[in-house]
C-alpha cells in the first residue's frame, strides 16, 4: 500500500475513535510525538517519587508512613506502565532512561521543587496530583491504545493519591497554629508551580494543535488550567486556607475564576535546568541506576547460566 492510502486509513480510524495499535501503520511524527510524550510522562512518575520519598522516613505516624510508601510505590508502578506503553513503539526502556539521564528527555518541572515540610506531602497530593489527574483523565481516551490503557489503570489508582493529600492538609488545617501555618506555607509554595504544570498558554504551545488533531490530546492547556483553578478555588475553602493569588476572583460573566499572571520566566528557568532541585533529582536517578548496574548484570548472568527455573532447585522455599 502507498503511504497516502495508509495515512487515509490511519486518519479514518482516528476520526472514528478506533484505537491505533502497535503494529498499525502510523505517521512517523505521530510515533515520535507519542514516544516523547509517553517517555516524558514515565520519567515524571519516576523522578516524582523522589520529593515524596524524601519524607517517608520522617512521616509523623505509622498510618501516614504506610500510605506515603504505598503512594510512592504506585508512582513506580505508573512509570513502569508508561515505559511499557512506550516500549510497544520500538524503543527500549534503557534507551529512554539514557535520554533522561543525559538530559535529552525532560520530565515534569514540578518535581524540581523541594519538599520542605510534612505539609508538602499534602500539597503535592492535592495540587500536583490534582493537576496531573486533570491532565490524565482525557488521556484515557488517547488514540494510541497502549497509552490509553496504561492511563486507565493509572487514573484508577491515582484516585487515592489526591484524597490522601487533601486529608493530610485537612488534618493540619484543623490542628495547632503551627500545623495550620505549615499547611498554608506549603500551599503558597506549590500553588503556582502546580498551575504551570498545564504548560504554556495555548498560543505559545506549538505542538498542541497537531496533538489535538491526532486525538492524543483532547483539551488545550488553558482549558485544563482553568478547570483546575475553578476546582481548587472552591476546595481550598474547606481547608479554611487561601491560594496565594490576590487576583483570584469569581467572574460571574465567564462563570470561571479569574486569576493572576503566571511567572513564565520562572517556568522556563526550571524547565531549562535551573530550578531549585534539578541537579539533585537527576543525580539521584543516575546514582540509583549506576549503583544498580551490577545487580542487573548479576541477575542476567545467573539467568543465562541457569535456564532451569529457580524454584525447582529450592525445594524448601
Partner 1 sequence: MNELINYTLQLADNSLILGHRNSEWTGHGPILEQDIAISNIVLDLIGQARNFYQYAAVLINNSTNQQFNQSTTEDTLAYLRNENEFKNCLLVEQPNGDWAKTILRQFFFSAYQFYLYQHLQNSNDETIAAIAEKSLKEVTYHLRWSSEWIIRLGDGTEESNSRMQKAIDDLWMYTDEFFEASSYELFAANEGFGAGVSLLKKDWMKKVKDVFDEATLSVPAELKQQIKWFGKEGKHSEHLGYILTEMQFLQREYPNSIW
Partner 2 sequence: MEEQNSISNDDGNNSPSGARGNEWPLWEIFIRSKNGLDHKHAGSLHAADAEMAIENARDVYTRRMEGVSIWAVESKYIHASNPDEASSLYDPANDKLYRHPTFYDLPDELRNM
The single residue among 13, 41, 64, 217 that binds partner 1, judged by CB under 8 A, is: 64
Residue 87 binds which of partner 2, partner 1, none (CB < 5-8 A, kind-dependent): partner 2
**Residue 251, strand partner residues:** 256
Stretch that binds partner 2, among 55-63, 177-185, 206-214, 281-289 (CB under 8 A): 206-214
The single residue among 66, 204, 283, 288 that binds partner 2, judged by CB under 8 A, is: 204
The single residue among 23, 66, 196, 199 that binds partner 1, judged by CB under 8 A, is: 66
Residue 8 binds which of partner 1, partner 2, none (CB < 5-8 A, kind-dependent): none
Q: How many residues bind partner 2 (CB under 8 A)?
A: 71
- Restricting to residues 270-289, name those near partner 2 by CB under 8 A: 271
- Between the alpha carbon of residue 307 and those of residues 174, 237, 295, 302, 304, the distances in Å are 59, 61, 18, 9, 6
- Restricting to residues 146-175, name those near partner 2 by CB under 8 A: 149-150, 153, 157
Q: Which long-range contacts (CB under 8 A, 24 or more apart) does 148-152 make?
A: 148/19, 149/85, 150/38, 150/81, 150/82, 150/84, 150/85
- Restricting to residues 201-240, name those near partner 1 by CB under 8 A: none
Q: Where are the alpha helices (DSSP H) in the chain?
A: 3-15, 28-47, 49-53, 62-87, 93-101, 119-123, 129-139, 145-173, 177-196, 208-213, 221-239, 264-269, 278-291, 293-305
- Restricting to residues 39-58, name those near partner 1 by CB under 8 A: 46, 49-50, 52-53, 56-58
294 binds partner 1 (CB under 8 A): yes
- Between the alpha carbon of residue 181 and those of residues 81, 178, 239, 243, the distances in Å are 38, 5, 12, 13
Min. distance of Cβ 240 from partner 2 in angstroms? 30
Residue 43's nearest CA partner among 120, 107, 136, 133 is 107
Contact 124, 51 (CB under 8 A): yes
4 binds partner 1 (CB under 8 A): no
**Residue 20, strand partner residues:** 144
302 binds partner 1 (CB under 8 A): yes
- Restricting to residues 113-172, name those near partner 1 by CB under 8 A: 118, 168, 171-172
Provide the pairing of β-strand 256-258 with 249-251: antiparallel
Q: Which is nearer to partner 1, 29 or 306 (CB)?
A: 306
The single residue among 83, 192, 257, 267 that binds partner 1, judged by CB under 8 A, is: 83
The rounded distance, in Å, linking the Cα atoms of 123 and 129 is 9
Binding residues (CB under 8 A) for partner 1: these are 46, 49-50, 52-53, 56-58, 60-66, 69-70, 72-73, 76-77, 79-80, 83, 118, 168, 171-172, 174-176, 178-179, 284, 287-288, 291-303, 305-306, 310, 313-314, 316-317
Amino acid at each position: 500500500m502507498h503511504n497516502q492510502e495508509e495515512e487515509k486509513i490511519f486518519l479514518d480510524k482516528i476520526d472514528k475513535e478506533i484505537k491505533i495499535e502497535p503494529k498499525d501503520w502510523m505517521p512517523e511524527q505521530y510515533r515520535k510525538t507519542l514516544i516523547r510524550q509517553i517517555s516524558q510522562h514515565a520519567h515524571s512518575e519516576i523522578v516524582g517519587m523522589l520529593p515524596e520519598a524524601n519524607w517517608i522516613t520522617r512521616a509523623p505516624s505509622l498510618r501516614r508512613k504506610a500510605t506515603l510508601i504505598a503512594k510512592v510505590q504506585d508512582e513506580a508502578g505508573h512509570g513502569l506502565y508508561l515505559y511499557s506503553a512506550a516500549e510497544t513503539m520500538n524503543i527500549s526502556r534503557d534507551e529512554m532512561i539514557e535520554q533522561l539521564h543525559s538530559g535529552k528527555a525532560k520530565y515534569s518541572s514540578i518535581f524540581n521543587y523541594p519538599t520542605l515540610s510534612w505539609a508538602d506531602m499534602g500539597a503535592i497530593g492535592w495540587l500536583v496530583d490534582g493537576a496531573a489527574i486533570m491532565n490524565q483523565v482525557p488521556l484515557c481516551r488517547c488514540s494510541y491504545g497502549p497509552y490509553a490503557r496504561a492511563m486507565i489503570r493509572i487514573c484508577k489508582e491515582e484516585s487515592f493519591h489526591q484524597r490522601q493529600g487533601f486529608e493530610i492538609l485537612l488534618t493540619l488545617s484543623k490542628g495547632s497554629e503551627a500545623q495550620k501555618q505549615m499547611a498554608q506555607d506549603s500551599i503558597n509554595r506549590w500553588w503556582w508551580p502546580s498551575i504551570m504544570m498545564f504548560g504554556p498558554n495555548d498560543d505559545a504551545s506549538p505542538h498542541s494543535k497537531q496533538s489535538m488533531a491526532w486525538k492524543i490530546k483532547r483539551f488545550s492547556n488553558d482549558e485544563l488550567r482553568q478547570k483546575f483553578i475553578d476546582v481548587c478555588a472552591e476546595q481550598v475553602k474547606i481547608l479554611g486556607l487561601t491560594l496565594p493569588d490576590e487576583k483570584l476572583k469569581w467572574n460571574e460573566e465567564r462563570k470561571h475564576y479569574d486569576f493572576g499572571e503566571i511567572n513564565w520566566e520562572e517556568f522556563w528557568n526550571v524547565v531549562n535546568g535551573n530550578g531549585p532541585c534539578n541537579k539533585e533529582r537527576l543525580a539521584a536517578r543516575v546514582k540509583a541506576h549506576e549503583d544498580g548496574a551490577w545487580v542487573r548484570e548479576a541477575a542476567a548472568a545467573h539467568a543465562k547460566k541457569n535456564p532451569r527455573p529457580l524454584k525447582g532447585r529450592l525445594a524448601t522455599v
